[in-house]
Amino acid sequence: MSYILACAPCCWGVESTDNPHNPDWITVLSETRKAGYFGTELGPFGFFPLDADMINTALYLKELEVCAGTLFEPLSEPHAYQEIIHKTKRLCGLLEQIGCERLVVIDCVNDIRSQCAGNSALAPRLDDQRWSHMMDTIRQISAIAAQHNIRAVVHPHAGGYIEYQDELDRLLADLPVDDIGLCLDTGHLYYAGMDPAQSLIDYADRLEYVHFKDVNKQRLEAAITQQVGFWQACADGVMCPIGQGAIDYQQVMAALSQIGYHGWITIEQERDPRHADTTLQDIMQSRQFLIDNGLTL
């Protein structure tokens, strides 16, 4: 089975808009197309210009599509709620104008959980009040997205408060399918101690979008043992090109085939943007691995 591949700005280390080492968005588009991909995510709010005409023109020239927008925000923090809602309305209006129908919703990495990323036993969970607030925030995001004909999908992410299996299961119990879909990321599943291929099967009834990444097992083990935090682990190279890490992509491919998944697959490889000089080479290697294994056109 073949899938259409996209890339994401995190492959260049773009995780926020205020990092002075970020590449510009045109560089991201140019290298995405040069590497043979057909789509991109928008990355953090404001990395791409919030101007539909500018984005549509660039996409036309690069022969690319935007497959998803992203909200990477502290969803459990009451003080952040109004800003999150503002960003949601602005972003969904933009996504509708550029013809994108998917919004990835992520509880962002925070200082408390980052140190425990990949270590479920040590990671503190949210109390019921903050969890309830986070669920209400996600419902509001989803409702706003739906007004723009956009489907919101939640992405469990290392270093946030939706990372481990118990949190994923609680989320899906609290938010029915009418409220939210699910984006699963093979690398973050592995980081959280879950089996990526089996998880795709287990959550197939809620799965609507897939991210691929690979993880260097030795660097992950060192990061967990030393509690360096998620961002430092990424800077240290915990993520690697597809096929060069610990994830068994033959099993992942078999799982996708078994569940009949159709849609985009977005390749990611988080890093420090100061290490983006190897991004083009890495994303080309990831795509070639998938081609060689019959996953994509």
Q: What is the mean pLDDT of residues 200-220?
A: 98
Cα dihedral sign, 72-77-78-83: negative
pLDDT band at 2 (very low <50, low <70, confident <90, very high): low
pLDDT at 3: 85
Residue-level pLDDT at 278: 97
Interior angle at CA 184, CA 180 and CA 185, nearest 5: 145
Burial class (CB in 10 A: 0-12, 13-18, 19+), 147: exposed
Instruction: Please give the structure tokens belonging to residue 173.
Output: 């119990």
Q: Running DSSP on this structure, what letter comes out for residue 3?
A: B
Q: How many CB atoms lie within 10 A of CB 54?
A: 13
Q: What is the pLDDT of residues 108-165, one digit of tens each?
A: 999 999 999 999 999 999 999 999 999 999 999 999 999 999 999 999 999 999 999 9
**What are the tens digits of pLDDT across the range 242-264?**
999 999 999 999 999 999 999 89
**Amino acid 296: pLDDT:** 61
Q: Report pLDDT for 295.
A: 73
pLDDT tens, position by position, 259-294: 999 989 999 999 999 999 999 999 999 999 999 988
* Domain 4-292 CATH assignment equals 3.30.200.20: no
Q: Is the pLDDT of residue 25 over 80?
A: yes
**Residues listed for the chain:** 297
Calpha distance 210→230 (Å, rounded): 21
Task: Please tell me what DSSP assigns to residue 109.
Answer: P
**Encoding tokens for residue 70?**
């992203």
Say if residues 56 and 98 touch (Cβ distance below 8 Å): yes
Burial group, residue 4, by CB count within 10 angstroms (0-12, 13-18, 19+): middle
C-alpha count within 13 angstroms, C-beta hemisphere, residue 235: 9
Q: What is the reported pLDDT for 1? A: 58
According to the model, what pLDDT value does residue 99 have? 97
Q: 43 with 7: CB under 8 angstroms?
A: no
Q: What is the predicted pLDDT for the residue at 294?
A: 81
Per-residue model confidence (pLDDT) at position 297: 47
State the CB neighbour count (10 A cutoff) for residue 132: 13
Rounded mean pLDDT of 171-188? 97
Cα(172)–Cα(155) distance, integer angstroms: 12
